[in-house]
Structure 1
Amino acid sequence: MSFLTLDHLQKSFGATRVVHDFDLAIEKGEFVSFLGPSGCGKTTVLRMVAGFETPTAGRVVIDGQDVTRARPNQRQIGMVFQSYALFPNLTVAENVGFGLRVAGVPRADRAGRVAEMLDLIGLPDLGGRYPWQLSGGQQQRVALARALAPRPRVLLLDEPLSALDAKIRVSLRNQIREIQQQLGITTIFVTHDQEEALSISDRIVVMHKGIADQTGTPAQIYNQPATDFVAGFVGTLNRFEAEVLDAARGLVRVEGAEIALDRPLPAGRITLAARPESLRIAPDGIPAEITGVEFLGSVQRLRARAAGREVVLDRFNEPGAELPSPGAQVRLAAPGAGWLVLTG
């Protein structure tokens, strides 16, 4: 039996339905990310799990207990917000111990747990400081420690890294994942940043217009997108209109170039797509003109125009390798498995 079950959740505000029949089963200790653009319903689902919003329909079940109508403080949930939400008049130690004090934990036990949490987040000597004396990354770590101090059953993180600069975000997201794995706590992480979701999640739920478009591992979401929306939202995608020549054999034509996909296809015209790392310059393939070359350290990015649209090719940096110059006429190809056939 799953540890956290979201059973046919729906949420409407007036006549507007923002979450449509949302189903998800999360195992104990699993790290699941809700990924999607602003307004897709991911934070609303999170708030229903936390108890800050009451579902219009459906249930929230934690460890076999139906908590749909329970108050937030009855659910044993820890939550970390985007805005840190630390108390400015309390020290770091007092912030971390706040939930324990409200729960009536004795002072001596509180002090031990606070020290444990500060050590866990790597700030053992900063308990006497105030939030304004900390960096943004340190404040968010204190917010994480405060959420974890009461030993919640579930940890919820609502875009906790979006206010931080890029380098700190990478460091802190890795630390969050390490702490989550160390504690084995069931976690839901809400983000609109695909790199964050792909890098730290056990599974990802890609949300779009109030529904879960696809749920899967990061590799499944990236390599086997189930819908056109998922394919376009997660990662960069090059699209080509193709004519199906032989549906049974998976033979198509793009701009005069025949491509064998070795899988059955629908008849007529379809949309093919390929990730930048799948495309390569080859003797035969789709005709293209190089329009730009970018050096990105470990990756060399080529931009080209093919089939009437801009496309991007990524290749690993090879010192001494010659790159085509802008204006060069080339042909683009990809292995059969590198092509995606997009659906609705």
Structure 2
Amino acid sequence: MELATVQSTTATKHGVILEKTERAFEELGVLNPAIYQNGNSVHMFYRAAKKGNFSTIGYCRFEGPTTLVERLAEPIFSPEYIYEIHGVEDPRITKIDDTFYLTYGTYDGLNASGALATSKDLKKFKKKGIITPKFILHDFTNLIRKHLQNSSIAKILAFNVERNYPLAQMTIEHSLVWDKNVVLFPKKINGKFVALHRLFPSIQIFTFEKKSHLTVDFWKEYLENLPNYLVMEPRYEHETSHIGPGAPPIETKDGWLMIYHAAEKRDKGLVYHACAVLLDLENPQKVIGRLTKPIITPEEYYERNGYVNYVVFPTGTAIFDDLLYIYYGAADDKIAVASLNLNDLLTELKQNSHENDI
């Protein structure tokens, strides 16, 4: 049985730190930034949206957690291929050894997938292509069919069927299963890259040695055994729609700390929150602790009013002294930051260690 717990950890909000400009590539909004911290410098790679909701990735730099000192007037990363023609979205960034790895969402107007790019200097990125499974709905259904008695797998299929239902048959035949929010761990585990991703509505994990190993056969075997790769499912009142990886996990002595997003169904639409979970260092598929309440919820005007109302969407973090700064898209058209004591958060997560005690 689960033990009753009282959660006290919530973040202190520091407000909006980046807003849209009159520049064409970011006149609709700026949101959902990737963060790389180098000492006192915070490098931010943010999704920039222009009219029509076509996205590129812009760049700016902060000294300390909130002081803006540099901002490029043009995108640093733009669509090049047909599968990303409508946008490159929601980046996350990690550094492993001497290479930066940028994961991002691709959108062609119909399909959303997860892709990877690399860089040595944070200025030029080399695209490596899509790294998530690419299967049309019919093929995907066949691969997971034997697991449809599993409620989590049934929900994944139901979402994709519902998404495609209004489409013409010709379009459905070219519609892929959505796979978004790919986040890489900032180090290899047992010699392999480790990534989290989100086949709606849950969070799954996959590992690989090289990008070239992510073949059709790799993903066929993966999907045929999909329940084996489940990390977390929606569980609490603020997660009644879905959850997804947020910022890249942070290695601590207590485990991998991950800030993730959760969407709550309400009468007027979805409400997005930022939440926290602690994963095992050696086996990050194992949940050590998970808070029962959000750490950031959309209560401020700038979080409740924007391109999409009631959105807190965390995608990056930085640490200054003992404070964890969480950078997030607010109402899908501006970027805000909040902070909380890292040690207090870890202590509370360990006290909420009943995740698998059912």
Highest Rg: 1 or 2?
Answer: 1
Higher helix residue share: 1
TM-score, with structure 1 as normaliser: 0.26
- Greater relative contact order (Cα < 8 A, sep 6+): 2
The structure in which a higher percent of residues are strand is: 2
Give the TM-score normalised by structure 2.
0.25
